[in-house]
Copies of this chain bind each other. A is one copy, B any other.
Amino acid sequence: MPGFIGREQHSVDEKGRLLIPARFRRRFASQTNESGDSPQSRVQVIYVFKADDGSLELYEPSVWNQKEEQLLKLSDFNPDERLLTTLIYARLDQTELDRSGRIALSREMLDHAGITKDAVIIGANAKMVVWEPLRLERLLSDNAGRFAPLASRYI
């Protein structure tokens, strides 16, 4: 099963709607029928997570659910584990693809990413990452020098 690969830039309209590129949507289509839905009712849910670095991460249900299984093991009464759970769910949201292949991002999510007009969507295999274009540009140029050292350490 291939992941999301590639980078595209699209506009976010006044209603906060962001188009998911067609090539990414095709990947969804191939694995919707987990629960034997009728062709009509296949609603494509997408999880949205506010990442620490100021981007938004988009997950398919099957991928997010895998992460969530880890969360379910955590105790409500261990302070550290409870805090982690809170930190995660407070940053998480859920949305659906409309018939034009867009998702509606909440004002809060857009603010977190600093998105007003345009957004870059980067395929990162299991997830998609959404950036405000200038912010991404700055991150890349600010850290251009770190690529080689990091790469040589880890790959």
Contact = CB atoms under 8 A, between A and B. Distances in A.
Nearest to A48: B6
Interface in A15-55: 23, 45, 47, 51-53
A11 to B, nearest CB: 16
Interface residues of A, number: 50
Contacts of A139: 86
Given A52-B148, A83-B146, A86-B53, A93 B125 contact: no
Nearest to A74: B154
Given A84-B147, A150-B80, A7 B90 contact: yes
A111 interface: no
The 9 A-B residue pairs with the shortest CB-CB distance in the complex, in nearest-first order: A84-B150, A5-B94, A89-B124, A70-B155, A6-B93, A87-B147, A6-B94, A89-B122, A90-B122
Given A53-B86, A86-B124, 12 more contacts: A2-B45, A5-B92, A81-B154, A83-B150, A85-B124, A86-B129, A87-B146, A88-B151, A89-B125, A90-B122, A90-B140, A94-B123
